[in-house]
Chains A and B, each alone.
Chain A
């Protein structure tokens, strides 16, 4: 690869990373797994003058269960989430981690990097939006904790301030009677999805949906929380009609761009199909069924 010249800095602690960022200013970028940043540097679409490497900071990579919460270090690799028994208890997390690209990407790419990159097609954002999730950020002024729903501003843009980084991602574990599923259509493993649907449900009596989280990926500038689709399920029995209404609401909520993956009209139709299936899978899991979920590869 032939990037423009840059200077490499290895941070030994979060505090050092923050102060390096503050010192080096706008021309500095954090390096986590490098799976988004390095391809951009290769094509000279990104040319930071400085790279601040997070990979040598101790204790930044973990999956830690704690009082109804799951804490993920920012540097936790997709593959670590995939293999983590604690994360596997929330099946939608496993669906997501195991379905990101290929083994090479999963072994390097990180959860923090994925959220910070805010790629409209990133998988983590829609999945975590269906669960109560918080992002713990550290900057020169100290630490702040933000709900994920307030984190994304636009494509590739978050509320992170200059010299601020993600330290941890905190997910509240769903209560019993919950189930979720994450489904994507991808043309092959190492490419971004054409469209994705994340659905997390809670069933009151195995039939009636008491809580619903639905989010869509790759069909807008940011991940889209489909509030009307959620409302279509909440308090309803999961009949085919209800599910279809929710799917239609999701289709209406998305805002896809035409590209090599498909036309806008196709992606809108696809979102409906994926939401429908994800609801059915989530409901089965909520009823305690063990269901394997795999993305759909064209």
Chain B
């Protein structure tokens, strides 16, 4: 309309820059902004622990056990201490005198386990530290460490979780058993469901293998224990510092405010750096012994693979599935044995965390499991990406596929019959979790469309006619985020934590700059970018004008007792906090502007002016820049009226999700706030001659509610997919019967690389969460969908040959043996179907 344009043209000439009204302001949330942190990271200018060089810094080298299980009878450090450049040493028995054992989260029997940062009279996994050498250089320390004499008396090792259950060989004599925790979970009426079932499918044993995420940067710590102040400063890459400092304070006998923990750039954690606090303790002790000089420890790749943390291994025994005539699952009953390696550390939390997704994406209401966790002579586990839910969801997807094949129902149809329906959200699971939103059937349809399902079915038919082994598999997974620590009470009623929180400080600085400090520990998730997007939207500025402090810092940044980066939650806890703090700041700015501009509050608008951001009175020339408001508080404050005395422009906000404590008796309650979902479809061919499984096509559909930054979400989806494909086909921590890790280097472990990656056909669905301020859900972990999809595709490819995929890891050699065994008629009978109804198909 020409008339409208004329009105605009008549605006005062001085105002050259476009002036968006509040309602029209750029919505930065939802834009695919490149990451703010890219500038330094891509150019190699990031700052990692190893980049810090402090005056007088010493280096620590660990002497580690070559045995999986052995008694330590004698340690002699005299020769090492005599080497040039060596300042001091530490040994297990010495450390045991200096610290208290780490806190055990669980109740007895696990609580009776004694966990020191070094093996004392015994070592329980290969690579467990037994002594440390501290020297002027890392090389001098490494050379001297070879001169530490340790006498071992090797003991029989237990590496299989089911063997561990028999307690024939004990890891922790103090506990009297290898069992860490055991519990029954029983929901609905399982027995009745089995009585009514048309089909009962028995699955003898399924196994989820042990692997790790192999972050590019291994663990790293610098600690300085200032003897004058009795204060410890840590530069580290621990990804859950609020948790670590509580463990460290108890062990070291200090208060948590006698410690400063800071992180800066981190080369990936995927959860496994949560449990690197024993090394933080060792560096602190070494620093104190060395008179307060800072002590640096950088883990080698081999040590990282051997002795940092691996993911949980789990065995699913004697599973029974009750189904009705049309293949609807009525009930599942099973026994799960989780293997946490030599020490529980973050465990037994994994014994409950799976229950966040107890029914997976499915509608069944009856579920019974006896869950047991055991220690074995293997590297302790850490909460590895997809932690505990991934293992459980893989189990459920195997159950669904095995039942589908057994009953002759197509895999997609089987899922459509069993998925929770879109109109059932928010959906309360049998154990009281509330799934916020989602539409699994639509995700499946979208993924089928992305991959060209019908086309592939036709191609598969033709390939099979040629004798080729082509399979198509679906993996449905959930990524539950923002956990309620109250669930720890289901393991240990006395656990002293519950709920969840996120914190942020948003500040308008003296010169008008907007700065944000967070309580998270970013390791590539782009927190600087997404929090800048959220704050920019509240304050109507561009994200470049919002500076976000990198890293975590108990002293300079905000933090709460939940602070860290874990459990797929930043989009909820971190961004809600940033949003809340920005709103608080905006409210203060408004009050100042009402006074400065002598205007009514509802006439004020925030936005970009010619000289930067300003608050102005709508429809007039009156405006005050943001720096002008800061000036009023910090520089020119005699003019301020008394009623504005409380304005600081430095606003801290703590976000707390609406959690309550679960009902301990019923093991019932809401354990997580949001539920992202991913649906993968893999098409795989197993080569008839080489047995190499090749991914022919791959589709990924994700739904993480409202997307804050599509680029970052896509990056997380790709990363999680790569981790999952790597785990499914390449990566496994392989131990021999003595507890020797057989593949501790990258040539043997073979982390996934780009040549192993298929091109991903991605698709998105947005089911906004009704429980978060912006509809977003956490999504970083991904839920391990490739493990589900690849197992399913392999089973689909080989089912006609009589093969059931019962392990989450499969490679050419293992597929060769699966096929050989069935060819020779020696296939293990792991699945049995009992059908009662006359209408039953089999």
Chain A contact residues, CB within 8 Å of chain B: 2, 4-5, 39, 43-44, 185, 187-192, 194, 259-263, 265-267, 269-270, 272-274, 276-277, 296-298
Contacts and interface: CB of A to CB of B under 8 A. Distances in A.
A270 B692 CA distance: 10
Closest 9 CB pairs of A and B: A262-B813, A273-B689, A266-B813, A2-B142, A266-B816, A188-B753, A187-B750, A273-B690, A298-B692
Given A2-B300, A296-B690, 17 more contacts: A188-B750, A191-B746, A192-B747, A262-B811, A263-B813, A266-B812, A266-B813, A266-B817, A269-B691, A269-B816, A270-B812, A273-B689, A276-B689, A277-B689, A297-B755, A298-B693, A298-B730
With most chain A CB atoms within 10 A of its CB, the pick from B687, B693, B747, B817 is B747
A298 B753 contact: no
A265 B756 contact: no
A227 B138 CA distance: 52
Contacts of B751: 188
A39 B746 CA distance: 11
Interface residues of B, number: 34
B690 A43 contact: no
21 contacts: A2-B300, A4-B143, A187-B756, A188-B751, A188-B752, A190-B753, A194-B812, A194-B813, A260-B734, A262-B813, A263-B813, A263-B817, A265-B816, A266-B691, A266-B816, A267-B813, A269-B691, A270-B690, A276-B689, A277-B689, A296-B692
A117 to B, nearest CB: 14
Contacts of B693: 298
With most chain B CB atoms within 10 A of its CB, the pick from A44, A194, A267, A298 is A298
With most chain A CB atoms within 10 A of its CB, the pick from B693, B730, B753 is B753
B750 A191 contact: yes
A298 B729 contact: yes
B812 A191 contact: no
Contacts of B755: 188-189, 297
Contacts of B300: 2
A5 B748 CA distance: 26
B146 to A, nearest CB: 8
Contact of B138 (A2, A187, A261, A277): A2
A41 B455 CA distance: 53
Contacts of B746: 190-191
B742 interface: yes
A297 B143 CA distance: 39
Nearest to B689: A273
Interface in B800-818: 811-813, 816-817
A298 B756 contact: yes
Nearest to A277: B689
Given A187-B750, A190-B746, A270-B812, A43 B756 contact: no
A43 B753 contact: no
Nearest to A261: B813
B258 interface: no
A274 B751 CA distance: 24
Nearest to A258: B813
A288 to B, nearest CB: 26
A277 B687 CA distance: 13
Contacts of B745: 43
Contact of A187 (B687, B730, B734, B742): B730
B753 A189 contact: yes
B302 interface: yes
B644 interface: no
A188 B813 contact: no
Nearest to A269: B816
A115 B282 CA distance: 45
A296 B730 CA distance: 14
Contacts of A296: 687, 690, 692
B334 interface: no
Nearest to A247: B689
Given A43-B302, A187-B730, A266-B817, A298 B743 contact: no
B139 interface: yes
B747 A191 contact: yes
Interface string B289-303: 000000000001010
Interface in B10-34: none
Contacts of B689: 272-273, 276-277
Contacts of B752: 188
A199 to B, nearest CB: 15
Contact of B812 (A43, A272, A276, A298): A298
B747 to A, nearest CB: 5
Given A188-B755, A298-B730, A298-B811, A5 B750 contact: no
Interface string B128-169: 000000000011001100100000000000000000000000
Given A2-B139, A2-B142, A260 B812 contact: no
Contacts of B424: none
Contacts of A277: 689
B742 A260 contact: yes
Contacts of A272: 689
Contacts of B302: 43
Nearest to B300: A2
Interface in B676-696: 687, 689-693
B112 to A, nearest CB: 36
Nearest to A102: B753
B820 interface: yes
A185 B820 contact: no
Contacts of A263: 813, 816-817
A127 to B, nearest CB: 19
Contacts of A298: 692-693, 729-730, 756, 811-812
A277 B689 CA distance: 10
Nearest to B138: A2
Contacts of B729: 298
With most chain A CB atoms within 10 A of its CB, the pick from B138, B750, B813, B817 is B813
Nearest to B820: A265
Nearest to B747: A191
Nearest to A295: B755
A187 B728 CA distance: 13
Interface in B720-761: 729-730, 734, 742-743, 745-748, 750-753, 755-756
Contact of B756 (A185, A259, A261, A297): A297
B87 to A, nearest CB: 17
B408 to A, nearest CB: 31
A39 B751 CA distance: 17
A192 B746 CA distance: 11
A261 B811 CA distance: 9
